[in-house]
Structure 1
Amino acid sequence: MSDTLTPEEFLAACTVGPAVLELRPDYRAELLVVEGLDAHAASSCADELIARAEACARELLAETPVDQLPHIAAWREAYRAFGAKPQRTRNSLEALTRRAEGGLPRVNALTDLYNAISVLHQIPLGGEDLDRYDGAAHLVRATGDEAFDTVSGGEDVVEHPDAGEVVWRDDAGVTCRRWNWRQGRRTALSDGATRALFIMGALGPVSDDALEAAGDELASSLASLGDGITVTRRTLGAA
């Protein structure tokens, strides 16, 4: 279990595999370990962030079709490079930006905050329960044998990624398929989560400074959920 590791030890053990960087040498991941969370806490800035994100989406899409927004277009190219069809399995940023134009879903302050920041900064962003991890997080190209627990037709099922698919995984199996398409159930954030791992992924159109700024806003926004929140960060990928 990841609770045997300090945040620094956990982040130091996380990796992006060389086969992934061969596919997209421009890829970077900003990882944040956040402790002291309360999913039931209210946030004074959640409503403001949601409103800003929805306005941002409307402004972006008034000028440019969603699939031609620079970072979304880059993710579509990345998906095609490992054999996925982006029109059928949309990366999380595209799916959320499409929804934001008509209104982002409201879940709780924690989820609302990171959904809004994903749209505002145009960066895919996922949150997971760190206490449900088995070992560190690794971004790899799948063999096709890895387990991925999900729901299909209302039933719990175990699926397997396609060989060569880019996935996040830990020692127990896949935690997120197709880079940033669908998260598994095992490590999903629950109402009782107090420690979380947030993963922000960037390709060429997003600069290192822009990725860091997105991480800064996520960290400062999460701090509004409680006085005891701490954030530890690490950037992986291209220099």
Structure 2
Amino acid sequence: MSTSASHPGTTLEDWLAQATVAPEITALRPDYRALLIVAEGLVPGPSDEVSERLLAGAERTVTERYAEGSYEDDPHVLAWRDAFKAAGMKPKRTRPSADALLRRVPAGLPRINRLTDIYNAVSIAHAVPLGGEDLDHYRGVPRLARAVGDEEFVTTAGGEPVVESPEPGEPVWRDDLGVTCRRWNWRQCTRTQLTLSTTRAFFVLDALGAMDDAALAAAGDALVRGLVEASPGARTATRLVAA
């Protein structure tokens, strides 16, 4: 079995098994579940025919689904807005990631790179917050907790790298070096972002009660299918973390 670069000698399955969701997160939302997926043997690169077909198809699906209404009435979108409010965040100023993507569908989503486009396609098609990280830039194991407020979050402002800190109590994903995603699923750091050289990745699909386990599994399966289609021979491992 392949090993994790962040923990040499540790299989991907063992690495996933060490991921944690803190009790204060499940106390905030007992219905929260995280579907964690790692993939290796990925073929990185700019947006291409495969990623364009998947993302354009997802955009059509969303347009058809909400033809008689609005994505803003989607039960899972509403549930995530409630979760952000409960955690002390303003969901219209810092939107849950699926919410932010769905509102951009009418104008067309930006094409970023083939791996990011693939997971964005799954996110909008299934109305699920979904983020991807470069596993080779991860250090230690992933954990979701409420921030103390002194953690480091590496991002950019005005095109320049800056280091910020989350608000105390803010739900954050982190590793040994700092915060990898702020406000549950709002913004990812630059240190672990997927790039044109990423060959191993870690994905998080965030679900609340409005998305049942079967629907969450279907979203995870769609992501795996897309990754394997774009990278034949890619290997994946999956773990569901629930309260």
TM-score (norm 2): 0.93
Whether the 8 Å CA contact 2:147–2:168 is kept in 1: the answer is yes
What residue number does 1:22 align with?
27
Give the match's secondary structure for 1:57.
Answer: helix
CA distance in 1, matches of 2:171, 2:141: 16
Partners of 2:42 and 2:240 lie apart in 1 by 22
1:114 paired residue number: 119
| Counterpart position of 1:100 | 105
Once the two structures are overlaid, the 10-residue window that deviates more, 65-74 or 142-151, is: 65-74
| 1:132 has 2:137 as partner | yes
Supply the RMSD in Å over aligned alpha carbons.
Answer: 1.6
Secondary structure, in 3 states, of the residue corresponding to 1:63? coil
Count matched residues. Answer: 238
CA deviation map 1:105-134 (0-9, x unaligned): 112222211111111111111110001111
Paired residue for 1:169? 174
Residues 54, 226 of structure 2: 8 Å contact kept:
no
> Structure 1 residue 49 and structure 2 residue 25: aligned?
no
Shift of 1:154: 2.4
Instruction: Output the CA distance in 1 between the equivalents of 2:37 and 2:21.
Output: 15
Letter matched to residue 95 of structure 2:
R
* 39-48 or 103-112, larger mean C-alpha shift: 39-48
Residue 235 (structure 1) aligned to one of 232, 236, 240: 240
Q: Deviations over 1:112-169 (max 9, x none)?
A: 1111111111111111000111100000000101110111222211111011100000
Q: Note if 1:40 corresponds to 2:24.
A: no
Is residue 50–residue 230 contact of structure 2 (8 Å, CA) maintained in 1?
Answer: no
The answer to whether the Cα contact below 8 Å between 2:46 and 2:112 also exists between their aligned partners in 1 is no
Give the 3-state SS of the residue equivalent to 1:62 in structure 2.
coil
CA distance in 2, matches of 1:104, 1:29: 25
How far the C-alpha of 1:41 sits from its partner, in A, is 7.7
Unaligned residue ranges in structure 1 (runs of 5+): none
- The answer to which of 47-56 and 108-117 deviates more is 47-56
Q: How does 1:87-236 map to 2 (within 5 A)?
A: 87-236=92-241
Evaluate the alpha carbon distance shift between residue 158 and residue 42 of structure 1 in structure 2; reply closer, same or farther with a 3 A threshold: closer
* Alpha carbons of structure 1 residues 31 and 177: separation in structure 2 relative to 1, 3 Å: same
| CA deviation after TM superposition for structure 1 residue 102, in Å | 2.2
Cα contact 2:148–2:167 (8 A) shared by 1: yes
Q: TM-score, normalised by structure 1?
A: 0.94
Q: Contact 1:44–1:224 (CA<8 Å) still a contact in 2? A: no
Deviation at 1:67, TM superposition (A): 2.8
Unaligned ranges ≥5, structure 2: none
Q: Relative to structure 1, is the Cα distance of residues 47 and 185 closer, same or farther in structure 2, using a 3 angstrom cutoff?
A: closer
Letter in 1 for 2:6: S
**Structure-1 residue corresponding to 2:6:** 2
Aligned-pair CA distance for 1:43? 6.5
